[in-house]
Amino acid sequence: MWFTTVTVQRPEGTTMTDSTGRNVVHLPVKVDASKGSLVEAIIQAQLPKFRVAIKFKIYVDWQPNAILQQEDVLIDEQFIDPATTTNYKYKVVERPVNYVNDHQELEVETVVGTN
């Protein structure tokens, strides 16, 4: 499990804005790797030409002005994908689970770039 910050993009490619009209950037999140994602990461490390989407669970503290939804793309502001030399991107692949006034849980996959 690790901590990072993300910028949120909507499916249309626009940066998500909060209720005040400001872009949602530097949103702190906690990323948790499942057992399956660790196996996928090992395969990817051993077969660099074989790029797979790795699944993670992301936890976001409740942000009433920035509710995330399925299909949103989270751009990692701290970690770089060595295969593409760009920031990692995570796509929300299932409807987020909302624990109102506490947190959101998101099922995400890495967005696989080109080598």
Apex CA 46: angle with CA 45 and CA 52, to 5°? Answer: 55
Read off the pTM: 0.79
The verdict on residue 115 lying in a domain is no
What is d(CA 33, CA 46) in angstroms, rounded to the nearest whole number?
18
Beta strands 103-110 and 2-9 are unpaired
Q: Is the pLDDT of residue 87 over 60?
A: yes
The verdict on residue 104 lying in a domain is yes
- With beta carbons less than 8 A apart as the criterion, state whether 6 and 31 touch: no
User: Phi and psi of 46, rounded to 5°?
Assistant: -80, -30
User: Helices marked H in the chain — which ranges?
Assistant: 35-46
Q: What residues make up the domain containing 103?
A: 2-110
Q: Is the pLDDT of residue 86 over 70?
A: yes
Q: Is the pLDDT of residue 59 over 50?
A: yes
The verdict on residue 83 lying in a domain is yes
Query: Domain total for the chain?
Result: 1
The verdict on residue 27 lying in a domain is yes
The verdict on residue 17 lying in a domain is yes
Identify the pLDDT of residue 50.
Answer: 60
Which CATH number fits the domain that encloses residue 24?
A: 2.40.10
- Mean pLDDT to the nearest integer, 91-98: 94
Q: Is the pLDDT of residue 60 over 80?
A: yes
Q: How confident is the model at residue 108 (pLDDT cuts 50, 70, 90)?
A: very high
